[in-house]
Structure 1
Amino acid sequence: MKSRGQGAIMIVSSGAALIGIPGYTAYCASKSALTGFAEALQAESVGDGVTISLCFPPDTETPQFERELAKRPAQARALMGAAPPWKANAVAEKIVRGIDRRSKKVYFGFSITGLGLFGPLVKPFVAAWFSRRR
């Protein structure tokens, strides 16, 4: 891609990269690490014609999701259970649109978009909510 002077890479993270979710410590950490990775690649690719994008998909209807739901901790269910999962084809279409538009970041739905754009302002309220539920 670099030698051709054009291309696009979409790194698939998760809405879990945007906020710590009880019971998902390793998952949140690994997905958050992708943000730093993508931002570093974006900085390295300036002027190369290669777009590095990062998307934060929500819960998505897949066989893996069905297995995960059976083991989801109660606190995580309280946070994540409010929004219904997206259909896999809808997630795929939004990712393709993000690539076509050369978007740097692609958020899904109201909650994830809100966390992506306003996370530092919203996270203290979410943390307070969790502390009251313990």
Structure 2
Amino acid sequence: MRKMNFKGKVIWITGASSGIGASLAMQLNNLGATVIASARRTEKLIELREKCADLQNFMVLPLDITDSQSIQKSVAQVRQLGRLDLVLHNAGIAQKGLVIETELDVDRKVMETNYFGTVALTKAIMPMYLQQGYGGFGIVSSFAGVMGIPGRSAYSASKHALHGFFESLKAEHMGCKLNVSFILPGFINTAITAKGLCGDGTPYGKVETSHRLGMTPAECAQDIIKGLQKKRKQIAVGKFEVYLLSINRIAPGLGHYIIKNHPMRRWRRLKSRFDLTIHFKGNKVIERRCTKNC
């Protein structure tokens, strides 16, 4: 299959103000694409633009995907460009908490952002794709989008829902050259867990150890771009955790056991028991301290 060439392509990225989205925007711009970077934090998008190689082909477009008027206004501006080749749905919010301790309002908020916001933007874009006869979507999902993860019920549900929606969309529009890629990041060192919602709706406030030790956003973006170039239907990105997807597909029972008893859960139990404290500088451990039962 012929690889996708990004030079001259128009690519719209949501959630582009930080993390994976920001790295994708910079790298695709460097590859010659006209990048439309969207997020609610306009000032962060402007800062990102200043770091890019081709400022003329980097468009800052404020967008709140939970606001229908913001979506319609943004799509109208994109239409003026005359073409749109690829949309990378990256905007989203995480959640942390057991089912029984997560308030229903939190479930609704996660679904409103991760699912309904993405669906609303897609519905607004599709007339443009149908008119030009082609288009693509890259959905930044998660391992939680193909398997249930403990403590991530709302997040996992929202990502599962996206898979069902885009599978149906692709099946419905066979007459349009519509390419859909599901992007499944594993543990990536971004602030998504820190900004994620606890069961009562408050921010979790810290980056989980599993993510802190994970792949960098820049490395993640590189692997995503390689997958998009090859037009892969599923792009799994991460370190050792990517093997879990194959295990879960071949032996679901074993996959479920690993998820339920994964090393980070054991680590948290150990940390609680011995009151372990670890400090990081980047991905490097710079201090370990044990204050009881040691």
The answer as to whether partners of 1:38 and 1:53 remain within 8 angstroms in 2 is no
- 2:178 maps to a residue whose letter is V
Shift of 1:46: 2.2
1:5 aligns with 2:129: no
Partner Cα distance (2:191, 2:153) in 1: 22
2:222 is the alignment partner of 1:93: yes
Higher strand share: 2
Aligned positions, number = 125
1:7 Cα shift? 1.9
Pick from 187, 205, 210: which aligns with 1:59? Answer: 187
The one-letter code matched in structure 2 to 1:86 is: M
Amino acid at match of 1:95: I
Uncovered stretches (5+) of structure 1, i.e. residues with no partner? none
Question: What CA distance in whole angstroms lies between the structure 1 residues aligned with 2:184 and 2:214?
Answer: 13
Give the Cα–Cα distance (whole angstroms) in 1 for the partners of residues 144 and 253 of structure 2: 16
Which of these two proteins has the greater Rg computed from alpha carbons? 2
Distance 1:32 1:7 in 2: 22
User: In terms of mean alpha carbon deviation, does 94-103 or 118-127 score higher?
Assistant: 118-127
CA distance in 2 between counterparts of 1:104 and 1:55 reads 8
1:87-129 residue CA offsets vs partner (Å, 9 max, x unmatched): 11122222222222222111124533541x4524333124345
Q: Which secondary structure state, in structure 1, belongs to the residue aligned with residue 155 of structure 2?
A: helix
TM-score by length of 1: 0.72
Can you give the 5+ residue segments of structure 2 that lack an aligned partner in the other structure? 1-128, 196-203, 267-294
Match of 2:250 in 1: 121
TM-score (normalised: structure 2):
0.36
CA contact (8 A) 1:53 1:103 kept: yes
Residues 69 and 23 of structure 1, relative CA distance in 2, 3 Å threshold: farther
- Correspondence for 1:25: 153
CA distance in 1, matches of 2:141, 2:212: 18
Per the TM alignment, residue 70 of structure 1 is displaced from its structure 2 partner at its CA by 3.8
- Of the candidates 230, 234, 241, which is equivalent to residue 105 of structure 1? 234
* Contact 2:184–2:237 under 8 Å retained in 1: yes
What is the match of residue 49 of structure 1? 177
- Code of the residue aligned with 2:248 in structure 1: it is G
How large is the Cα RMSD of the aligned pairs? 3.0
For 1:61 and 1:35, how far apart are their aligned partners in 2? Answer: 24
1:45 CA displacement: 2.9
